[in-house]
Amino acid sequence: MKSFFQEFKTFAIKGNMIDMAVGVIIGAAFTAIVNSIVGHIATPIIGMLIGVDFSSWVIELPRLYGNAEPGAIGIGNFLNTVISFFIIAFVVFLFVKGINKMRKKNEAEAPPPPEPTKEELLLAEIRDILKESRVER
């Protein structure tokens, strides 16, 4: 049982796990910001340009089984969610593209591997000779 908790502790403290947790928290906060931008800024502007208020787009459902109020399908809210998705996807795309650009720059700036020493070259030759002698048998 002790090794299980030790293994979990090692897993939880790894850098990747912590980075992922931070990413999820920032992603949730970013989603709230994007939803606000879409719901309070982008959608009203788009609605003004095309002359339609998305938030009022609903499909009324008939009253069934004596319900006091009819149900409604919120098409406008769905469109807000779709717009929000595309904004988030675009920002994530730009973020990943920037990270990849930085990685390529760092890889290009990395110094080339050092030349092998005389001992390493000699050991490589010995290794190759041993491989050849095993194949010939």
pTM for this structure?
Answer: 0.50
The domain locations on the chain are: 2-136
Does 1.10.760.10 match the CATH number of domain 2-136?
A: no
pLDDT of residue 15: 61
What confidence tens digit (pLDDT) does each residue in 3-13 have? 888 887 777 77
pLDDT tens-digit series, residues 55-99: 778 888 777 776 677 778 888 888 877 877 887 788 778 888 988
As a whole number of angstroms, the distance between CA 55 and CA 53 comes to 6
Torsion of CA 11, 13, 15, 17, to 10 degrees: 60
Show the beta-strand stretches assigned E in 7-125. Answer: 59-60, 72-73
Helices (H), 38-74: 43-50
Tens of pLDDT, residues 28-54? 888 888 778 877 887 778 778 877 767
pLDDT in tens, 97-121: 988 898 888 777 778 788 989 999 9
